[in-house]
Structure 1
Amino acid sequence: MNEGLLEQLETWHEQDEYEKIVDAVQEVPVEERDYELVNHLGRALNNLERYEEAVAQFLTVAEEGADDPLWQYRIGLAYYYLEQYDKAEQAFERSDELEPGDEDTLEFLEWIRNRDDEEEEDEDSAGEVQEGVELENGTAEEQPAVISSINVVHVDPPVPVSGEFWNDSELALEQYVSDPPSDGLVESVEEQLVFRLPVSYIEMMKEHNGGIPYHRFFPVTNEESGETGYVEIEGILGIGREKRHALCGTEGSWAVIERDGYPEIGVVIAKAPSEAGIVMLDYRSYGNDGEPEVVYVDKNERKITPLAPNFETFIQGLMRPEV
């Protein structure tokens, strides 16, 4: 394989030029693509969130990847975001077996197992109800379930923010984390967003500009049932334009609002997994002269649910599941 091409692909990867990687590799005839080249293509497709295509590419070199922890991790990541959790878990377990202790692999396994536990609890609860318990307006099967419109994730037990906050995984560094913003960049981004960013948010981004936190769960109480669930976020958008998940990046605030039709009430600072909803700074109450509230907006119903009175309180309220 041409070493010059491989060096160019790696350079584009470092520059987040994933489309260029895809185009360049696809120009190579299929029969001439070796294992390394296919992995470059699959990784780029993952970074472009084209997960089905990524899986198809990885599977063409499955035999060679069987004993490669990085190949297992990458196909596991694609399966995870396709919500094929059984296959993702198998891949991550194999990756951990080949290279024990990798933090990113263990974290994905943790997320999957938390989801499995939640589904088992929901199934147990549903089974108990369906045994014919009488309710005020009829049998359990006839009574519509009362559920929260928030896409909550139940973690048992969660623990508050403490110790290291940011998880600088490969994915985080590629798609979220930028250099600390200058005052000029902050001003430029604010002008593009048409909103003044909170001082606490700017200060945090000057310390670590965007990323994926270990603490990704914010507690929310269902007003109807009184039960507490947890809004899960994938990552926090940094101040900038270069990274895919930055305030003015290709998956930034206005891009998400315009594409998905969210209400134009402020600035998107985080998304829920599988794009189930977003976390926003809400400027409706105080405008640009005050501190915006932090709210969750459900993608399907567009229901706006308050989370915290300000950004600092939101960050302090984030929790992580205890393994």
Structure 2
Amino acid sequence: MVRRAQEELGVTLPRAYVDLLVQRNGGVPRRRCCPTQFSTSWSDDHFEICGIFGIGGPWGIDGSSGGGSSYRIAEWGYPEIGVVICDTPSAGHDTVMLDYSQCGPEGEPAVAYVDEDRIPRRVAESFEEFLNLLVNCEALDLYSAAVAVGFRPGVSLEERRTGRGTRGHAVRGTTLAFAPTAVSVAVRPE
């Protein structure tokens, strides 16, 4: 399935993404917010995803119908820089993509956020880094609200990103955990 998806998309998927596909073919991560150094149309300092797309079927990134990456790029006018990999709460007004524009179709793509202005903004150098950047949205919203009024909580945003607390204790692991879903499909790499 992985090889067929790569052939359909015309790119080599990053190893971390393939590993995720083998573990769980897409789904809804528990940590769904990605802090940014730029404002988005939805927040001053982050964006939210509501799912990571898998492969196969009508909603897979390789799908040729309404859920596939090619369809989404054409339908929503996203830049043709790579592959749409995440769904967002806006249901299409913004997205997250694997960005092959600098590495070519066989290289290790960066991850870019594409907002309503359709300008890709790099948020991570790799898919693995992107996964490690994701934080609990409620914690991020509380943190952002506290900072907005001048409060500095004991755990900084950087400590949340790295998973290390002020005393060197783990704040939250860096493995990606998924919320329960109704369907989980196992994928074997070919």
Aligned counterpart, 1:229: 45
Task: Report if the CA contact (8 A) 1:219-1:228 is conserved.
Answer: no
Aligned counterpart, 1:193: 9
Q: Distance in 1 between matches of 2:100 and 2:53?
A: 18
| 1:211-246 alpha-carbon deviations (Å, 9 max, x no partner) | 0111110000128xxx96111111000022x1x431
Instruction: Give me the identity figure in percent.
Output: 40
| 1:3-56 alpha-carbon deviations (Å, 9 max, x no partner) | xxxxxxxxxxxxxxxxxxxxxxxxxxxxxxxxxxxxxxxxxxxxxxxxxxxxxx
Which of 93, 118, 125 does residue 302 from structure 1 map onto?
118
Task: Report if the CA contact (8 A) 2:33-2:47 is conserved.
Answer: yes
The answer to whether residue 99 in structure 2 is matched with residue 282 in structure 1 is: yes
Task: Report if the CA contact (8 A) 1:237-1:252 is conserved.
Answer: no
Task: Report if the CA contact (8 A) 2:76-2:93 is conserved.
Answer: no
Q: Distance in 1 between matches of 2:6 and 2:106?
A: 13
Aligned counterpart, 1:313: 129
Unpaired stretches in structure 1, ≥5 consecutive residues: 1-184
Task: Report if the CA contact (8 A) 1:296-1:305 is conserved.
Answer: yes
Task: Report if the CA contact (8 A) 2:99-2:110 is conserved.
Answer: yes
Task: Report if the CA contact (8 A) 2:14-2:127 is conserved.
Answer: yes
Q: Which amino acid aligns with 1:246?
A: G
Unpaired stretches in structure 2, ≥5 consecutive residues: 143-190
Query: Structure 2 length as normaliser, TM-score?
Result: 0.65
Displacement of 1:262 in angstroms is 1.2
Query: In angstroms, what is the RMSD of aligned CA positions?
Result: 1.8
Aligned counterpart, 1:202: 18
Aligned counterpart, 1:247: 61
> Which structure's relative contact order is higher, taking Cα pairs within 8 Å and 6+ residues apart?
2
Runs of 4 or more, structure 1, over 3 Å off, are none
| 1:104-152 alpha-carbon deviations (Å, 9 max, x no partner) | xxxxxxxxxxxxxxxxxxxxxxxxxxxxxxxxxxxxxxxxxxxxxxxxx
| 1:228-271 alpha-carbon deviations (Å, 9 max, x no partner) | 6111111000022x1x4311233121110011121111000012
Matches within 5 A, 1:149-164: none
| 1:177-201 alpha-carbon deviations (Å, 9 max, x no partner) | xxxxxxxx11111111111100110
Matches within 5 A, 1:4-19: none
Q: Distance in 2 between matches of 1:290 and 1:189?
A: 16
Aligned counterpart, 1:97: none
Would you say how many aligned residue pairs link Structure 1 and Structure 2? 133
Aligned counterpart, 1:220: 36
The structure where helix makes up a greater share of residues is 1
